[in-house]
Amino acid sequence: MEDDRVEHLAMTFVRRYYESKGFEVKNVSRARGEHGGYDLLAIKGSEHIKAEVKGCTRPYGIPDPYCTEFDFESRRLIADVLCVVYFPPATETPQLAVIPREEIPPEYIIEKRAYRISGKFKKKEIISKFFVKF
């Protein structure tokens, strides 16, 4: 299962989970500012749950979070909960783990340096010259 497909399926799975509990769910994964650091905002009356969503095909695995999903100084998740959807082999049902922020000890959060290639480079006029013929 491709990573982007797993991520999309996980978002849909968690959205449906909260909707089944009577929450209105907003996808704020692309939002910045007040919604930065989490994917979904679940609202039911005065209750607001900020959820960071991860999808995984390995049992008990958790994909590495982005630096924007944690507070640098406290090493605490910005979201209220980390929702990890596990997609086992096709014969089994996906499982959802909802892990509260306070259950993730800061000492278990390991800083990682990463790089990414800018979207300015990832364009047809640049990448197409590197295609190979076979």
Residue pair 65/78 in contact (Cβ under 8 Å)? The answer is no
Go through 44-78 and write b for each residue having 16 or more CB atoms within 10 A of its CB, e for each that does not: eeeeebbbbbbbbeeeeeeeebeeebbeeeeeebb
The model carries a pTM of 0.82
Per-residue pLDDT of the chain (134 residues; tens, 9 = 90+): 555 699 999 999 999 999 999 999 999 998 877 888 999 999 999 999 999 999 999 889 999 998 899 998 999 999 999 999 999 887 789 999 999 999 999 999 998 877 788 889 998 999 988 887 87
Strands 47-56 vs 81-86: parallel, antiparallel or unpaired: parallel
The domains located in the chain, with CATH, are 3-130 (3.40.1350)
Residue pair 41/48 in contact (Cβ under 8 Å)? The answer is yes
